[in-house]
Chains A and B, each alone.
Chain A
Amino acid sequence: MSTGRKDEHLAQAIKSLPEHTPAGDAWEGILNELEGETKPEKQREIGWWRYAAALLLIASASLVIYTIQSGPSDIHFGEELSELMGSLPAESVADEEFETFRDEECSGFREVCELPQFKTLMTELTAVEAEVVNIAEMIETTGYDEFLYKAKNKADQETIRIKKELVKLLRG
């Protein structure tokens, strides 16, 4: 651990942070579990699936990185994406178009839409889109900040990457 603080006022405020107290009966819960009255079986089960989901995510991310890196370098990212999107109504990957495409593809029962990989990507997409909104709000709140703009740009790129991966899955 390191303590290389530069701001004295901040350091002082941190030193005087108030303590929070847990509820009076918090010990009872710990005691009950120690006595074996409650067992966190469900947590263990979820933990196993988390590992599996993480592995799947890493594998799919590696595949995408490999695909991108092994592709022709003179193709612009947007062109590559629109090529992949193929039958999409327009060349861009505007949110509305992507959502329409996804909804159409998943409207009937399609196995791919039920795949854990697809669901994981959709969850990731929701989170990244929320992050884009979050950073945009930060920019709105704090005004111009080059770091925030760069971060938003990164998140935007991440959104495109995930959408691209989803489209690839949908198109088999």
Chain B
Amino acid sequence: MNKAEERRLIKKCIRQDRLAQRMLYEQYKNAMFSTAYRITSDYDLSHDVMQEGFIKVFKNLERFRGTGTLGSWIKTIIVRAAIRAVQGLHLHVEIEERTMDAEVRFDDNLTGQLLDELLLGLPDKCRVVFQLIEVEGYAHKEVAELLGITTGTSKSQLHYAKRLLKEKLQNRGYEHRKKG
């Protein structure tokens, strides 16, 4: 869909054209559901997130200024809804602010399918941070603001996530190549 088509679709959605709203939903549903599912790790909860998120999208679409992409705008709404859905996470554990993720490296045994599977098995806190930083591309500062934590906590949770992913990979027999 090009920009002009997207603008037309948005106008129709604002006019509460149900068909247009359905089209917009169909266009973004998989990407948004994937994000919601990896944040919540709960299939049913992800549907609640989708419902809450898309209702908000349709009610606020006239506020979309078009400065970024529509997909990014919708994703921000979905991410916030997903975070609210998993509220109760206590992300206060904070350690020194240092660059830690460089210590954990993966090899080419890590495929998308395998990563998806392993991610869903991670503890809530570090899974959410990993998803937001590594998959969605948010900065630690943004994640800290979204989750109400410090950047140090965000970094430490990302480190835990990578350590655990690495461990899970090794436990499955995907041994990291030893140097030499």
A interface list, Cβ under 8 A from B: 1-3, 5-7, 9-10, 12-23, 26-27, 29-31, 33-34, 40, 124, 127-128, 131, 134-135, 138, 141-142, 145, 147-148, 150-151, 154-155, 158
In contact, B142 and A1 (Cβ under 8 angstroms):
yes
Answer whether residue B137 sits at the interface, using C-beta atoms and an 8 A cutoff.
yes
In contact, A30 and B37 (Cβ under 8 angstroms):
no
How many chain B residues sit at the interface, stated as a range, is: 35 or more
Closest 6 CB pairs of A and B: A16-B112, A22-B33, A13-B115, A9-B106, A1-B137, A2-B139
**Neighbour of B92 across the interface among A26, A40, A135, A158, CB < 8 A:** A158
In contact, B93 and A14 (Cβ under 8 angstroms):
no
Q: Which residues of B contact A5 (CB under 8 A)?
A: 134
In contact, B51 and A26 (Cβ under 8 angstroms):
yes
In contact, B134 and A14 (Cβ under 8 angstroms):
yes
Given A18-B116, A19-B30: A9 and B108 interface contact (C-beta under 8 Å): yes
Q: Which residues of B contact A6 (CB under 8 A)?
A: 101-102
Q: Which residues of B contact A22 (CB under 8 A)?
A: 29-30, 33, 46-47, 50
Q: Which residues of B contact A33 (CB under 8 A)?
A: 51, 55
Q: Given known contacts A20-B38, A33-B51, what 19 new A-B pairs fall within 8 Å (CB)? A: A2-B137, A2-B138, A2-B139, A3-B137, A7-B101, A7-B106, A9-B106, A10-B115, A16-B112, A17-B34, A20-B46, A27-B29, A30-B51, A30-B54, A30-B55, A34-B16, A142-B167, A151-B160, A154-B94
In contact, B164 and A142 (Cβ under 8 angstroms):
yes
**Neighbour of A17 across the interface among B18, B108, B123, B135, CB < 8 A:** B135
**Neighbour of A29 across the interface among B51, B116, B136, CB < 8 A:** B51
Can you list 13 A-B contacts (CB < 8 A)?
A1-B136, A1-B137, A7-B105, A10-B106, A15-B112, A16-B111, A20-B34, A20-B37, A29-B51, A138-B160, A138-B163, A155-B93, A158-B92
Q: Which residue of B lies closest to A29 (CB)?
A: B51
A151–B110 Cα distance when bound, in Å, is 27
Answer whether residue B179 sits at the interface, using C-beta atoms and an 8 A cutoff.
no
Q: How far is the CB of A3 from chain B (nearest CB, A)?
A: 5
Is chain A's interface secondary structure helix, strand, loop, or mixed overall? helix
Answer whether residue B154 sits at the interface, using C-beta atoms and an 8 A cutoff.
no
Q: Which residues of B contact A134 (CB under 8 A)?
A: 123
Give chain B interface residues in 9-65, CB to chain A under 8 Å: 16, 18, 21-22, 25-26, 29-31, 33-34, 37-38, 46-47, 50-52, 54-55, 58
**Neighbour of B25 across the interface among A27, A40, A145, A155, CB < 8 A:** A27
Give chain B interface residues in 87-114, CB to chain A under 8 Å: 88, 90, 92-96, 100-102, 104-108, 110-114
A138–B159 Cα distance when bound, in Å, is 12
Q: Which residues of B contact A150 (CB under 8 A)?
A: 95-96
Q: Which residues of A contact B116 (CB under 8 A)?
A: 17-18
Q: Which residues of A contact B54 (CB under 8 A)?
A: 30
Given A2-B137, A10-B106, A26-B50: A154 and B30 interface contact (C-beta under 8 Å): no
Q: Which residue of A lies closest to B132 (CB)?
A: A1
**Neighbour of B90 across the interface among A12, A34, A128, CB < 8 A:** A128
